[in-house]
A = this chain, B = another copy of it.
Amino acid sequence: MNVVQSKIVCFQNKGTDGTVYMKMIKTVQEMQTLATHLRTDGRKIGLVPTMGYLHEGHLSLIRIARRKADVVVISVFVNPTQFGPDEDFAKYPRDIERDKRLAIQEGVDIFFYPSDEEMYSKRHLTFVTVDDITGVLCGASRPLHFKGVTTVCTKLFHVVKPHFAVFGQKDYQQSVVIKRMVKDLNFDMEIVIAPIIREADGLAMSSRNAYLSAEERKDALSLQTALKMAESRIKQGETKTATLIREMKDYISSKIYTKIDYIKIVHPDTLHDLDVIEDRAVAALAVFVGKTRLIDNVILQV
């Protein structure tokens, strides 16, 4: 009475002529069935969950997954439950054809892009929440954001059944929240955190950078510059976070188009505010540049 009757080769991303192709999947059921077969077949599945509009940051995550996995799955889903009512869900940039081309170029095996209706039934009532660490930093100004993130990640993990998933350090708080959730709920998988990828001038890659005007784009550089300032001040011996935060605030506020949401120096795991940097810490900030909310962070070490 075997669940899987025979070990057929259920997934093959090379045609008979050697052409590599990428499998497109729109439904939960197809993705889940294929994932089950891949697992029974002993293949290691790596997932890169994204909201699409891929940039070099996403591609770096795919490359990491490619090195570790037999089968790389990218999910492209602009998740409605992680946007607040006044946020940019409707206008969030989308370009699925471009995303497909980039994914193929990076050797992705499976491109999973479900519709909103496929992911959330009208009777959807279930949510995953992480207390405490979701109420600070971005969670303070986006109170339901992480509830949406943890819920959709739980769903994606159940659908794609990855052995590991790759997230970017750019969303530092998200990476801590997901790691906490995976541990607390005993997901049997690894969370891999990949370094921030930046433009040549230092701006952290983000799909939302597409919203910036040329002048805003210049002021947006102040986020990374402020973080680098803090880093070098720490190297000089400054450990009082109040001083470091004030200096970053003064610098960013001096730009025309910036409005600070928060600048914090926190414990890397608990995300609680630190008074003094004794060991590891994270400086994280969120700043509106024009109407666009950008985030950035740096891991600090005394």
Contacts and interface: CB of A to CB of B under 8 A. Distances in A.
Contacts of A60: none
Contacts of A130: 125-126
Nearest to A45: B3
A44 B3 contact: yes
B36 A154 contact: no
Interface in A1-48: 1-4, 28, 32, 36, 39-40, 42-44
A128 interface: yes
A97 interface: no
Contact of A125 (B36, B43, B125, B184): B184
Contact of A133 (B124, B125, B155): B125
Given A125-B131, A180-B126, A44 B1 contact: yes
Question: Within the oligomer, what is the number of copies of this chain?
Answer: 2
B128 A127 contact: yes
A28 B186 contact: yes
Contacts of A126: 128-131, 150, 180-181, 184-185
A43 B2 contact: yes
A233 interface: no
A240 interface: no
Interface in A155-170: 155, 158-159, 161, 163
Interface in A175-202: 180-181, 183-188
A44 B36 CA distance: 13
Nearest to A131: B125
A275 interface: no
26 contacts: A1-B44, A3-B39, A3-B42, A3-B163, A32-B186, A32-B188, A36-B188, A39-B40, A40-B40, A121-B184, A125-B130, A125-B133, A125-B184, A126-B128, A126-B129, A126-B130, A126-B150, A126-B180, A126-B185, A127-B129, A127-B131, A151-B185, A155-B186, A158-B186, A158-B188, A161-B188
Given A125-B130, A125-B131, 12 more contacts: A3-B42, A36-B188, A40-B40, A123-B180, A124-B184, A126-B129, A126-B185, A127-B129, A127-B131, A158-B185, A158-B186, A161-B188
Interface of A: 1-4, 28, 32, 36, 39-40, 42-44, 70, 121, 123-133, 150-151, 154-155, 158-159, 161, 163, 180-181, 183-188
